[in-house]
């Protein structure tokens, strides 16, 4: 498989497991670990936040500022969506929020170099960060995470759009805006959506050009079959061999689904392919068949294609913008507006990533360096960015998950439905995460939850 298509692996499954939460609790700050030196709690860290200590020899740190580089995909983006710049929007909004409070340790938080990896140059840009003393840490939002190993090897604290679980797994200095996800694990968000749609015959679609998209489609079909008796639906069509981008269209597959009586379609496809599929469904008289989308939390895109996506289900990994503002969402809404950023999926990921960077500094204390920030961050056992995500236990958050080795007590999803070109919450607005017991895999109705 060529490098030019491997990036689809992450894009195609970003919301599949709408994620497994890793710990109880809702605080965004660290909790004590079991070692001799407990991580600073939020209040203890706050007590030293205004303490200035002169630091020499730490990259990106001066008496006035702590500077971060940002690497990501802007040009040659086959999705045509806003990735790098929108991720930066979230980071800059968060930094403005904290700097308005006085910064940290007598210093301002700053975005330094913003480096476009042009899809295939993520490793080149990562090595630029590694070889320079201009940045203390890095942020990364890319479609091909080829440079994350180099950043980890160099001990650079790196905060990412966490859609590349394989590239995060085992790398102690690489933190996603969510923990490592399990694309091989059955889940309950797809069966729930199928049940809510009243479906009885379900199809699952994925690309054959990437293992992740293929496994995603297989896992979605397996999830339907696992809970078939409880939800009254069965998997009747699964195609995990689609060509990326659907260059020849998808008419034969839609015909096959129509002949199989499919009344719900679960996808592991990117946003543009979802549109191609919706158009073909409409052409063949299946326009009323709802779909499940892992990559379509894009308000403008959905609004522009409102009729095609009407009634579809969309999942996101963060607290939805449509939820009742609480915790970190209140600050996000204020500062994304104040800084002129674009509210959306990527800016939310940027904000969460920036909060993790800040909390790591706070936990490390005023005489910090890269290693102490990484170590302190890896003692956080219930990170939520003040309710912006389901809890992530970073003491285990870098470990790969498996069907029989799930980490943490929660399986959670933020599930929305498209109505008149807008997203409507399925969970209550003040409890936007739908959560299940992650250890008991029997079917159950989800518990609406808020982690702020």
Segment 83-111 mean pLDDT: 98
H, E, C per residue of the chain? CCHHHHCHHHHCCCCCCCCEECCCCCCCCCCCCCCCCCCCCHHHHHHCCCCCCCCCCCCCECCCEEEEEEEECCCCCCCCCCCHHHHHHHHHHHHHHHHHCCCECCEEEEEEEEEECCCCCHHHHHHHHHHCCCCCEEEEECCCCCCHHHHHHCCCCEEECCCCHHHHCCCCCEEECCCCCCCCCCCCHHHHHHHHCCCCEEEEEEECCCHHHHHHHHHHHHHHHHCHHHHCCEEEEEEEEECCCCCCCCHHHHHHHHHCCCCEEEECCCHHHHHHHHHHHHHCCCCCCCEEECCCCCHHHHHHCHHHHCCCEEEECCCCCCCCCCCHHHHHHHHHHHCCCCCCHHHHHHHHHHHHHHHHHHHHCCCCCHHHHHHHHCCCCCECCCCCCCCECCCCCCCCCCCCCCCCCEEEEEEEEEECCEEEECCCCCCCEEEEECCCCCCCCCEEECCC
Q: What is the pLDDT of residue 137?
A: 98
Window from 23-27, 162-166, 372-376 with minimum mean pLDDT: 23-27
Query: What is the model's pTM?
Result: 0.90
What was the pLDDT predicted at 25? 35
User: Once rounded to an integer, what is the mean pLDDT over residues 240-269?
Assistant: 96
Q: Which residue has the higher pLDDT, 109 or 185?
A: 109
φ and ψ of 444, to 5 deg: -155, 155
At residue 152, the pLDDT reads 98
Least confident of 19-28, 152-161, 168-177, 422-431: 19-28
- Helices 370-377 and 345-364 cross at an angle (nearest 10°) of 110
Q: What pLDDT score does 33 carry?
A: 39
Specify the pLDDT at position 376: 98
Q: Is residue 385 scored above 60 in pLDDT?
A: yes
What per-residue confidence (pLDDT) applies to 430?
97
**What's the average model confidence in pLDDT over 243-257?**
95
Q: What is the pLDDT of residue 3?
A: 36
More reliable by pLDDT, 90 or 441: 90
Residue 362's pLDDT is 98
Residue 80 confidence (pLDDT) above 90? no
- In the predicted model, what is the mean pLDDT of residues 242-270? 96
Instruction: Read off the pLDDT of residues 396-415 as tens digits, 9 standing for 90 and up.
Output: 989 887 777 677 778 998 99
pLDDT of res. 328: 97
Say which residue, 29 or 281, is predicted with more confidence. 281
Q: What is the pLDDT of residues 33-67, one digit of tens each?
A: 333 343 433 445 789 999 999 999 999 999 999 99
pLDDT computed for residue 250 by the predictor: 97
Q: How confident is the model at residue 285 (pLDDT cuts 50, 70, 90)?
A: very high
User: What pLDDT, on a 0 to 100 scale, did the predictor assign at position 21?
Assistant: 44
Which pLDDT does position 51 carry in this prediction? 97
Is 50 exceeded by the pLDDT of residue 452? yes
- Percentage of the chain beyond pLDDT 70 is 90
Reported confidence tier of residue 335, pLDDT bands at 50, 70, 90: very high
What are 161-219's pLDDT values in tens digits?
998 888 999 999 999 998 888 888 999 999 999 999 999 999 999 999 877 789 999 99
| pLDDT tens profile 302-328 | 999 999 999 999 999 899 999 999 999
% of the chain at pLDDT higher than 90: 79
- For the chain, which domains are there? 25-178+324-377 (3.40.50.2300), 189-316+410-449 (3.40.50.2300)
Query: Average pLDDT of the chain?
Result: 90
């Amino acid at each position: 498989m060529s490098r030019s298509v491997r990036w689809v692996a992450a894009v195609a499954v970003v919301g599949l497991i709408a994620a497994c939460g890793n710990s109880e609790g809702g605080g965004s700050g660290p909790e004590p670990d079991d070692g001799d030196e407990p991580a600073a709690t939020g209040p203890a860290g706050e007590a030293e936040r205004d303490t200035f200590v002169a630091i020499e020899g730490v990259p990106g740190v001066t008496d006035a500022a702590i500077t971060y580089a940002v690497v990501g995909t802007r040009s040659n983006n086959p999705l045509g969506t806003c990735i790098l710049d929108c991720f930066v929007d979230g980071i800059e909004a968060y930094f403005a929020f904290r700097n308005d409070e006085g910064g940290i340790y007598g210093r301002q938080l700053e975005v330094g170099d913003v480096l476009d990896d042009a899809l295939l140059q993520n490793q080149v840009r990562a090595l630029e960060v590694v070889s320079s003393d201009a940045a203390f840490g890095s942020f990364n939002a890319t479609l091909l995470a080829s440079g994350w190993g180099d950043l980890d090897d160099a001990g650079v604290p790196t905060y990412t759009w966490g859609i590349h679980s394989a590239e995060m797994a085992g790398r102690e200095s690489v933190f996603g805006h969510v923990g490592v996800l399990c694309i091989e694990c059955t889940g309950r968000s797809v069966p729930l959506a199928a049940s809510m749609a009243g479906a009885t015959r379900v199809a699952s679609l994925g690309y054959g050009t990437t293992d992740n998209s293929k496994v995603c489609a297989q896992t979605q079909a397996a999830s339907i079959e696992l809970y078939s008796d409880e939800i009254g639906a069965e998997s009747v069509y699964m195609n995990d061999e689609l060509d990326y981008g659907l260059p020849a269209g998808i008419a034969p597959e839609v015909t096959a689904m129509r002949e199989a009586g499919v009344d719900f379609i679960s996808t592991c496809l990117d946003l543009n392919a979802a549109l191609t599929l919706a158009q073909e469904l409409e052409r063949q008289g299946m326009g009323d068949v709802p779909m499940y989308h892992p990559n379509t939390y894009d308000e403008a895109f959905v609004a522009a294609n409102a009729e095609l996506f009407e009634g579809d289900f969309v999942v996101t990994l963060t607290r939805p913008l449509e939820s009742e503002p609480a915790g970190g969402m209140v600050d996000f809404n204020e500062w994304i507006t104040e800084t002129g950023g674009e509210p959306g999926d990527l800016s939310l990921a940027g904000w969460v990533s920036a909060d993790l960077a800040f909390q790591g500094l706070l936990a490390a204390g005023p005489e910090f360096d890269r290693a102490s920030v990484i170590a302190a961050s890896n003692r956080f056992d219930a990170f939520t960015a003040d309710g912006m995500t389901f809890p992530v236990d970073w003491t285990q958050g870098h470990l790969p998950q498996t069907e029989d080795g799930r980490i943490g007590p929660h399986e959670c999803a933020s599930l929305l439905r498209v109505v008149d070109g807008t997203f409507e919450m399925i969970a209550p607005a003040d409890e936007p995460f739908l959560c299940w017991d992650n250890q008991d895999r029997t079917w159950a109705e989800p518990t609406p939850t808020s982690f702020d």
